[in-house]
Amino acid sequence: MQNFEYYNPTRIIFGKDTIAKIAEHIPEHARILMLYGGSSAERNGTLAEVRSVLGGRTVQEFGGIESNPTYETLMQAVATVRREKLDFLLAVGGGSVIDGTKFVAAAVNHIGDPWEILTTHGANVTQALPFGTVLTLPATGSEMNSFSVITRSETREKLGFGSTLVYPRFSVLDPTKTFTLPLRQVANGVVDSFVHTIEQYLTYPVDAKVQDRFAEGLLLSLVEIGPKVVSEPENYDLRANFMWIATLALNGLIGVGVPQDWSTHMIGHEMTARYDIDHARTLAVILPSLLRVCREAKRGKLLQYAARVWNLNDGTEDERIEAAIMKTEAFFESLGIPTRLSAYAIGSDAIDGLIDQLETHGMTALGEHQDVTLDVCRRVLEAAL
């Protein structure tokens, strides 16, 4: 097992009717900015519920944070916080609202151009406003991690940053608040959390026994409940399990002491930036193709994945590996998520542009061995056509 430090200060408040508890965790005299997305949180009553528990605190609201939140919109929130001298942020929404709130938290008192927070991937973040979250979409793990991904629409760039200063103080996970999700978003969440788990697991063995078993537990649980989570929107127990799985898939725990490979996400971010494809859908296209192209480097773990997640124990090694990749694709497709670029009307003419963007963003040595070069990314995209 590799050396690691593990730190996670986010308080999780889980279960039905838990929004009321946020009052205990926000200072009495806080001046709050409540941030949200489009209309979903207003329509399903979540915003009203949050407003009702904030008592006499000063509360301003900032709506309109898009999916794949934009720098341009978030800078308006930064201006509001500065103008109104607000000192606590409260995100109500999915990964986009939470990621956007993290950026606002870091940008408000940032000295210099706030876009540098993204170009330096968070290295220059020295302070951030405190914030909490009320999660309405299980998928990204943003509610319990220190990452954020922001899009600059002007340049069609999608970049991430991370800082221990942007862990949420608390996150409310009330599974009933997900009942109104469109099926497409639920399916996206299942795939996103599946791929987060895979990217911290499917590299090379380092004898990290419990991290492997944790990761396999998350994958097996997603395979077991994924289709039902989508088809039974008001099944509390399914939603509760899914919500906690998605959080655990990217709160850092399964990734400690093990190599990681975020190539699928990095290639996927360029696809979203250029073609507006939902985040999880880019992953469903890239992951199977990446596993095929990188099968030699990942052979040991692919065989473990085949045996322990898909119960594939017969045939040659290569047959088991290919069968496991096909099972993965079939799982994504069973959720209604296509796994080929052609299904998103993307042809071979798009590949040069995507490779150029990866190069511009310094994504030239990805993967657990830093050997997923631009040439390898090209092969991954070609194999996904």
Looking only at residues 117 through 146 of this chain, which bind ligand NZQ when binding is defined by CB under 6 A? 136-137, 139-142, 145
Smallest separation (angstroms) from ligand NZQ to the CB of 122: 12
Strand partners, 151: 70, 158
Stretch 161-200: interaction string toward Zn ion, x if CB under 5 A: -------------------------------x--------
- Cβ atoms of 148 and 99 within 8 Å: the answer is yes
Smallest separation (angstroms) from ligand NZQ to the CB of 318: 30
Distance CA 38, CA 94 (A): 11
- Residue 375, helix vs strand vs coil: helix
Instruction: Compute how many residues bind ligand NZQ; rule: CB under 6 A.
Output: 35
Q: Is the Cβ of residue 164 or residue 311 nearer to ligand NZQ in the bound state?
A: 164
270 is a contact residue toward Zn ion (CB under 5 A): no
Smallest separation (angstroms) from ligand NZQ to the CB of 144: 9
Separation of CA 202 from chain center: 17
70 is a contact residue toward ligand NZQ (CB under 6 A): no
95 is a contact residue toward ligand NZQ (CB under 6 A): yes
Q: Is the Cβ of residue 180 or residue 364 nearer to ligand NZQ in the bound state?
A: 180
The first and second tokens of residue 263, run together, are 């190539």
Distance CA 189, CA 367 (A): 23
Looking only at residues 142 through 181 of this chain, which bind ligand NZQ when binding is defined by CB under 6 A? 142, 145, 147-149, 177-178, 180-181
The pairing of beta strand 157-162 with beta strand 147-152: antiparallel
Smallest separation (angstroms) from ligand NZQ to the CB of 207: 27
Distance CA 18, CA 136 (A): 13
- Residue 170, helix vs strand vs coil: strand
What is the DSSP code (8-state) at residue 66? P
Tallying the residues shown for the chain, one arrives at 385
DSSP string, 104-140: HHHHTT-SS-TTHHHHTTTTT------EEEEE-S-SS
The first and second tokens of residue 16, run together, are 């039905």
> Given candidates 44, 119, 124, 373, which one binds ligand NZQ under the rule CB under 6 A?
44
> Given candidates 39, 231, 311, 313, which one binds ligand NZQ under the rule CB under 6 A?
39
- Cβ atoms of 293 and 379 within 8 Å: the answer is yes
Q: Which does 289 bind (CB under 5 to 8 A by kind): ligand NZQ, Zn ion, none?
A: none
Looking only at residues 251 through 290 of this chain, which bind ligand NZQ when binding is defined by CB under 6 A? 265, 279
Residues in touch with ligand NZQ (CB under 6 A): 37-41, 44, 67-68, 93-97, 99, 136-137, 139-142, 145, 147-149, 177-178, 180-182, 185, 188, 192, 250, 265, 279
Residues in touch with Zn ion (CB under 5 A): 192
